[in-house]
Amino acid sequence: MVTPAQHDTAAAATSTTTARRGGHVRIDAVSHRFAVAGRGERGFLARTGAAFGRLVGVGRDAPSAGAAPAAPTELAVLDDVTLDIPPGQLVALVGPSGCGKSTLLRLLAGLAQPSEGDVSVDGTVVTAPHPSRALVFQDPNLFPWRTVLDNVRLGPQARHRSRLDADRVRWALDLVGLTPFADALPATLSGGMAQRAALARALVNRPRVFLLDEPLGKLDALTRLTMQDELLRLWQAERFTALLVTHDVDEALRLADRVVVLSDRPARVLADLTVDLDRPRDHAATDYLSLRREILHLLGQDAAAGTAPGGAA
C-alpha cells in the first residue's frame, strides 16, 4: 500500500507529514435549540392557509378560516452536553432517533453555532467549517457526472490546490482501495464502494477530526461488517480523532474507545462508557456482553439486551 510520504511533494510536505495527531475536542456545556414557526397540524394549517390567502389576494395577513396564526417557538435539541475527547480517540454516540446526535456533529463541523456553550478543537472555538474537520454522511452524495477521481479531488479543487494535492488524491484512493476504479462513474459502484469514495473525499484533506454520521447505516449486513473493518483500519492508519453516530450498539462496541449514551431530546449525556477491550473485539466476552446490556438498558431496550450480538437492538 502506498504511504503518504511516498506521494508527498516538497511543497506539500508540511501538511502531509507521516506523524499524525488527531485534534483535542472539547464540548463545553452545549445546549442547542431550533427556531420553528409552528408545531403540529395546527401550525402547518395556519401557515398553509395564510399562504393560500395571499395567493388568491385575500390579504397579506389574512388567516385561514378557523386557524389561529402559529406563534414562533423553539425546539430544544441538546441540553448541557459536556464531553472531552483526547487526540486520536474514537468515540461512538448512541441514542434514540432524533435526539440530537447529528446536530452535535454539525456543531463540531462548524455548520451551526450552539445556542449556549462552546465547541472547540485544540483550544480554538469552532465558528465555521474547516478542512481539518471532515463530515461524512449516511449517503455518499457523490456527483453522478464526475468520476471517482474527480469526486475525491473536489476539496483540493475548491481550494484551488488541484495540482499541489494531486499526489494526495491518489494516496486517498489507494488508502480506501479504489485506485482501480478511479475513472468509474458512481452509478457503476456498489454501495460499499460508493461509501469508500465518500471516505476518500474526506480523507484527502488529512482531517484531524473525522465526524461520521451513520456512514454505514444504509449498507447490507455483510458489507457493513466489511466497512466497519475498513473504518477501523483507516483510523488506525491516520490516528484522527473520530466521532461516530450509530444506532447499532454492536457497531459502537466493535469500533469505539468510548461509547457515549444520549437521552431522548433534548439530549443529555446518560453515560460515558470506556470500552477497555482488546481489538479485534470478542462479541462473546463477558465484559463485552456486560457493556452491551448496560447500553441497551440505558436506551430502554431491556428486551433486546438478551439477544445475541448482531440481533435486533
pLDDT of residue 15 exceeding 90: no
- What does the pLDDT read at residue 11? 32
Q: What is the pLDDT of residue 308?
A: 63
Q: What is the pLDDT of residue 257?
A: 97
In which region does residue 245 sit, left (phi positive, over 0), alpha (psi from -120 to 50) or beta (all else)?
A: beta
* Residue in 72, 139, 138 with CA at minimum distance from that of residue 101: 138
Question: Rounded mean pLDDT of 159-172?
Answer: 77
Question: Is pLDDT of 99 > 60?
Answer: yes
Q: Assess whether pLDDT exceeds 90 at residue 304.
A: no
d(CA 22, CA 148): 27
* pLDDT above 70 (res 56): no
258-262/269-274 β-pairing = antiparallel
pLDDT of residue 50: 47
Domains and CATH numbers, the chain: 4-37+78-306 (3.40.50.300), 42-71 (no CATH)
The model's confidence at residue 239, banded by pLDDT at 50, 70 and 90, is: very high
- Going by pLDDT thresholds of 50, 70 and 90, the confidence category of residue 129 is very high
pLDDT computed for residue 125 by the predictor: 97
What is the pLDDT, as a whole number, of residue 48? Answer: 45
Confidence of residue 312 (pLDDT cuts 50, 70, 90): very low
- The whole-number pLDDT of residue 38 equals 54
Listed residue (112, 177, 176, 186) closest to 148, CA to CA: 186
- The Cβ-side half-sphere exposure at 30, using a 13 Å CA radius, reads 29
Q: Any idea which of 1-10, 130-139, 147-156 has the lowest mean pLDDT?
A: 1-10
Mean per-residue pLDDT, 129-150:
94
Q: Is the pLDDT of residue 311 over 80?
A: no
Average pLDDT, the chain: 83
Global pTM reads 0.79
